[in-house]
Every structure is written in structure tokens, then in C-alpha cells.
Amino acid sequence: MKRLESVKLKSFSALIATGCCLSVFSQEPMRADRATEDIAHSEKLQFLSMRARTDKGQRSQASTNFDVNYYRCEWEVDPAVNYIKGKLSSNFHITQAASEISYDLSANLTVDSIYYHGAKINFTRPGDAVTIQFPSSISAGTLDSVSIFYQGAPIGGGFGSFIQTDHAGSPVIWTLSEPYGASDWWPCKNGLNDKADSIDVIVTCPDIYRASSNGIELASSFNGGKRICPFKHRYPIATYLVAMAVTNFSVETRNILLGSTNLPILSYIYPEDSAYFASRTPYMLNAMQLYNSTYGDYPFIKEKYGQTQFQWGGGMEHQTNSFVVNGGEELMAHELSHQWFGDKITTGSWQDLWLNEGFATFSQVYYLEKLSPFYYPGSVRQRMQDITSQPGGSVWVDDTTDISRLFDGRLTYNKGGYLLRMLRWKLGDSIFFRALRQYQQDPTVKYGFSRTADFKRNLEQLSGTDLTQFFNDWYYGQGYPTYQLEWTMLSGGWISTRLKETTSHPSVSFFAMPVPIVFRNASQEKTIIIDHKSSGQLDFVNIGFVPDTVLIDPDHWLISANNTVTQSSLNLKDQVNILPNPIGNEFFTVLQNIPASKVSLLLYSMNGQLLSRKEIELLNGFYFGSFNSASLPHGQYVLRVVGDGVKISKRILK
């Protein structure tokens, strides 16, 4: 889902009326229908409007003694009237012996009757639920079905879940159910633990209108001034992703070739905006090709992808049919990517909402990188600025009753998306994108529910890298690092770097990451990667030239802020310095303040055997050089510096 704070300049007064802010960032070029970077501001408003119900713990009262296999949703609506008349037929299997089961359904709706095996049966209405009482107990493993007849005026609130309004003088009804709003308008299981294997949707409306819903649209029929619009969807679907909309839609059908499949692309658009949307659809088609090649086949490739215009002010990733307010590139790219991340694989807990929204935010930026690169650098900078605008905050949501925290654009969306950007940097493009494709095919989460541990497991399996510390720091931990780089120009193109780090929040004492450092002058540039494992770490690298500019992570691969770079001396106190010591397969010798122009470097074993001799010249008493020690066995050694009036010894440990 994506809520826009600004969509078109002409919408400015409307944004003020809803309390939204229009943000302008001078360092990034803007386009008229472009989304701002805070993509969650008004999403919070929708969920806050539902807070009275969620604070009562009534997110789902459905019983856990059955699993849904199939829904047949028969809805009759008139877009000019806030009312729904429905029949919900549900096939299910019993998981525990039961004499009754419960579905979620708002107490504001009236249940007329419930049929079981062709006969009416008893039911009760405890709160926002309907409890069905069977004539006798049903054994575990039994396949069965019921039909619920209901009607009423749904309470939709100002931002969802069932809205009756108008556009250009024509009435419209549309739905948006995330996270708990589905039961406002139809009987269902409203949690994150049970997907229906398939659904059929049959919408009846006055014959001058047309419906939009999930899956394949079948041929309409007409009867007594009414139009009957059937849809079938044969993929598993989470409850909150079921949707419908009804108005005088103008429908455009295109096709896109994905591999050997010619996928239908349907646009259900208000007639007054049909020309505009038609001009924008190519952007979405480009995004489809990009994601299909990057993440794997479009998840619902046997059916369709659609876009339906609505008036929520942003977008919602209804399965096979995203609802969008306009044809903005980033909006369409964001919602389309949810078909992989959010719809095919759905977060198994609102604590892990980043698995939906962080992935869609990453995909949105990836789209800019590949297909709209003029806007890509500014988008990355703005997200970095947003994330580091406060010192704390984790991607993991520790309290899902706090709706503002749950749909926090800075943390769930931007930091969640940046977490993926950093994993891409840490693992490399080849491994990272292969891991995303493997995750999409993981049989334990494919077309089901996922937790962060499932995604981490796929990354680790493919990369062979233990990412526990990474997720502890960046997913559960709070804040970000500030880097202080001190560098020194040595001789022969060698440079020493000392990289220090402070953290913005005490939950993480040190962020271990590979840190890119760029050295450049007027004619040359070189990037080195410091495998940063401790604050104050000293490293040496030969870049082969004298730089005049040194930058820490100029392409913003890592979350950090307020970084500093200074040129300094090594500040070593001894005349002879071995770095590091203990040594590994290579060590560096730094001589300073040596009162000679030439000296010999003599490496001895502890029994006095001469192992190596090197004659060197000093410049103003200074020397820097490397020594290959890979062939030396573990043990102790002595390095002696001998020259005219000079005799200094240094013990070395390997």
C-alpha cells in the first residue's frame, strides 16, 4: 500500500484540507505526478480511524478450529447508496472437532440467515463476529461448507474499508480492507494465518455501471435492469486483499508478453481520466517487465494484472488488481511490486510489515535506478535524510496496537527498504537477487505467509553468510552509525585509514559493515572497501596516486549521517611500528624519525635464524612498506632495523 502526500500540484488545497504536507526537496528534480518520499502519512489516518475497534482487541474473533478453502462472494450494491446485500458461501475443513465455528463480521451488518446442507441453522452474534452452531459435532479433517446471507450499511470511515462517494457527478463504491477492515463489509477470517485457496466474486449492480475485482473477469449478464459481473481467482489470497469497486468505469485492455505468456493488463478508470491513464500505463508495463525478470514470473501469470482508479489518495495492492489514485510512476511501481511481496508472500505478522512495505519501497527505488535514473539519486538521498532525522527506531514493530508506529513511513517503509539496499551492498547483486528469487520459490512461504526469519534463512542459505548480527543491528536494533575517517598519505601510493564509529542509539554499540571509501583527484578515482569490524580500525591500501578528495559512501549504500573525513599523520609513538601485531598473511612496517638515509630490515626466528633481509632507503627518516608473511609458521619473530648509528629490534607475533 502507498499513500501519497502530493500527487499533482492542482491537489494542493485538498491536501491542506486533509492535514497533509506538501514537501519540496531542492536537491532532487521533481515531476508533477511524482510521489513524495513519506509514503505512509495518510495510511496512518486510515488505520487510526479504525482504532476504536482495534484497541478493543477485536482484530479477529474468527475461531481457529477451521481453515478456509474457498469463498464465493455474491454482493449486490448500488454505487449511489452506502449499502451492501450479500451471500457468502465458504468451503472449509475442520482442524479440530467442532460443534460451532466463528467468522468475523461487523455488528453493524445484519445476518438474515445461514444455510448448512440446504437447511437453516442457528447462529449468534458475539461482538463483531458470527458464530455458526452446527446440528452436531463435526470431526477434524472434515470438508464442509456454509452460506451466510447478510446486509446492511457498512461503516467505512474516511479512508476505507467500504466507501460510497462520487467522481465527476457519478457515484462510486470502493473497498480497502487492510489490515482489519474486511469484516466491515463481508464475513471472513480476518487474520494473517489463513488464505483461501481460491475465490469467486459475483457483483450485481445497476446495468449502467461496471464492477472491478480480483482475478479474471468473466462475461457479464443482464437481468431486470441489473448487471451481473462475475470474477474468478484461482490463487491463494489473504482476506484483506479481496476487493471490489463499482462505478461507470471505462475499461482498457492491453497485453504484455512475459516469456511465452501474453498477460492481460486491464485498467478500470473513471471516464474523465481515461486518456490520462492510458498515457501512463506504459510506465507500469515497463515495471512489470523489470520485476518479472528480476524477481521471477509475475505471481498470477495465469490470470491478469489490473489497475482500478479510486479516491483514497494513494494505492492499495489488491491481489491482481491494484487500486490507484493516479498514474504516477512510483505509485504504480510500488503497488505492482506488492504482487510479489505482500500478495504472493504475505507478512505473517504486522510486526514484520516491512516484508510488505519495505520490499515495495526497495522495488520502487530499484525501478527508478533502472528505468528512471534521473530521479534515482535524489530519491535515495531523501530516504536517507528521513531515516536519520531521528536517532532511534527499529524496523521491527514491537507494538502492533500502536498504529502510528506500525505504519511509520520512516521505519517500516524507508528504513525497511534501506535494509534491503544494505543487504544488496553487503552480499553483492548476484547473490542478493538470486536470494530474492529463491525466497519467492521457497515452498514454506510461497503463496502463503512469511516472517523475517524465513527471508533471513533464504539469504543465508544462498550466500553462506551468517546474517544474525546484521539483523540484530539493523532490524531489531535502533539508530545508525556516524563514521569518522582519518587518512594519511604514505609513500609509493600507499594510504593508511583509521575508521572510527559512533552510534546514534545505545541499543547498538557498533554496526559492522563493509564501508566504501572513494579517493579521487582531477584525473583518477579509486574505491576501496573497508571491512569495518571495530571502531578505530587501522587499514592500509595502495591506491597508486595522491588524492585530493576522500569521500565516505558517496552513493549512499549504507545508513549513516554526519560523517567526517580528515587528513592526518599516523600518530605512531615508536620509531619502528609493526601493523598489525599480531600479524596475519601480510604486515606493514612504518619507520619514523630514523637518523639514517639507509637501513637494513632483518627478520629473524626466535632461535636466531635469518629469514629475510631487505635494504631500504628512508625519506626524511620515514619509510612505509608491506611484507608478505603468508609462508611464516605461527610463532614469534624479531625484526631488526640496522644502519649507520641505528640498531632497533621489534618482536612480532603470528
CB atoms within 10 A of CB 64: 14
Q: Give the list of residues 6+ apart from residue 77 with CB closer than 8 angstroms, or none.
A: 83, 84, 85, 173, 203, 204, 205, 244, 246
Q: Give the list of residues 6+ apart from residue 550 with CB closer than 8 angstroms, or none.
A: 485, 487, 517, 518, 519, 520, 565, 567
Q: What is the mean pLDDT of residues 537-552?
A: 94
Residue 207 included in any domain: yes
pLDDT of residue 37 exceeding 50, the answer is no
Rounded CA-CA distance 33/375 in Å is 13
Comparing 141-145, 205-209, 566-570, which segment has the lowest mean pLDDT? Answer: 566-570
Q: What is the mean pLDDT of residues 557-576?
A: 92
Residue 49 included in any domain: no
The pLDDT tens digits for 441-493 are: 999 999 999 999 999 999 999 999 999 999 999 999 999 999 999 999 987 78
Tell me, yes or no, whether 172 and 134 share the same domain.
Answer: yes
CATH number for the domain harbouring residue 113:
2.60.40.1730
The beta-carbon contacts of 277-281 under 8 Å, at least 24 apart in sequence, are 277/252, 277/307, 277/309, 277/327, 278/252, 279/327, 280/33, 280/326, 280/327, 280/328, 280/329, 280/332, 281/252, 281/254, 281/307, 281/327
Rounded CA-CA distance 363/367 in Å is 6
The pLDDT tens digits for 418-446 are: 999 999 999 999 999 999 999 999 999 99
Q: Are the beta carbons of 455 and 355 closer than 8 angstroms?
A: yes
The pLDDT tens digits for 263-274 are: 999 999 999 999
According to the model, what pLDDT value does residue 55 have? 39
CATH number for the domain harbouring residue 545:
2.60.40.1840
According to the model, what pLDDT value does residue 232 have? 98
CATH number for the domain harbouring residue 631:
2.60.40.2950
According to the model, what pLDDT value does residue 40 have? 54
Cell 508478453, located at residue: 257
Residue 345 included in any domain: yes
Cell 465458504, located at residue: 90
Q: Which three cell numbers stand for residue 567?
A: 587528513
Give residue 422's domain range.
Answer: 1-36+249-477
Tell me, yes or no, whether 199 and 138 share the same domain.
Answer: yes
Q: What is the mean pLDDT of residues 214-238?
A: 98
pLDDT of residue 212 exceeding 80, the answer is yes
The dihedral over CA atoms of 277, 280, 285, 287, expressed in degrees to the nearest 10, equals -120
Banded model confidence at residue 400, pLDDT cuts 50, 70, 90? confident
User: Considering its fold, how many domains does the chain have in total?
Assistant: 4
pLDDT of residue 165 exceeding 60, the answer is yes
User: What is the H or E stretch that residue 382 is in?
Assistant: helix 376-387
Q: Give the list of residues 6+ apart from residue 523 with CB closer than 8 angstroms, or none.
A: none
Banded model confidence at residue 6, pLDDT cuts 50, 70, 90? very low
Q: Are the beta carbons of 333 and 285 closer than 8 angstroms?
A: no
According to the model, what pLDDT value does residue 573 have? 84
Cis amide prior to 187 (ω within 30 degrees):
no
Tell me, yes or no, whether 266 and 410 share the same domain.
Answer: yes
Rounded CA-CA distance 410/28 in Å is 18
Name the 3-class secondary structure at 216. Answer: strand
Tell me, yes or no, whether 449 and 485 share the same domain.
Answer: no
Q: What is the mean pLDDT of residues 233-240?
A: 98
pLDDT of residue 17 exceeding 50, the answer is no
Q: What is the mean pLDDT of residues 503-512?
A: 98
Q: Where are the beta strands (DSSP E) in 178-242?
A: 198-206, 210-213, 216-217, 221-223, 226-233
According to the model, what pLDDT value does residue 16 have? 25
Rounded CA-CA distance 471/435 in Å is 16
Decide the pairing of beta strands 98-104 and 110-116.
unpaired
According to the model, what pLDDT value does residue 32 have? 39
Rounded CA-CA distance 251/253 in Å is 7
According to the model, what pLDDT value does residue 406 have? 82
Q: Give the list of residues 6+ apart from residue 430 with CB closer than 8 angstroms, or none.
A: none
Tell me, yes or no, whether 524 and 606 share the same domain.
Answer: no
Rounded CA-CA distance 507/392 in Å is 9
According to the model, what pLDDT value does residue 244 have? 98
Tell me, yes or no, whether 464 and 595 share the same domain.
Answer: no
Residue 51 included in any domain: no
According to the model, what pLDDT value does residue 640 have? 95
205: which strand partners? 227
According to the model, what pLDDT value does residue 96 have? 97
Cell 485538498, located at residue: 14
Number of alpha carbons in the 13 Å side-chain half-sphere of residue 250 = 11
Banded model confidence at residue 43, pLDDT cuts 50, 70, 90? low
The pLDDT tens digits for 586-606 are: 999 999 899 999 999 999 999
Tell me, yes or no, whether 399 and 499 share the same domain.
Answer: no
Q: What is the mean pLDDT of residues 105-128?
A: 97
pLDDT of residue 26 exceeding 70, the answer is no
Q: How far is CA 510 from the centre of its chain?
A: 24
Tell me, yes or no, whether 380 and 423 share the same domain.
Answer: yes
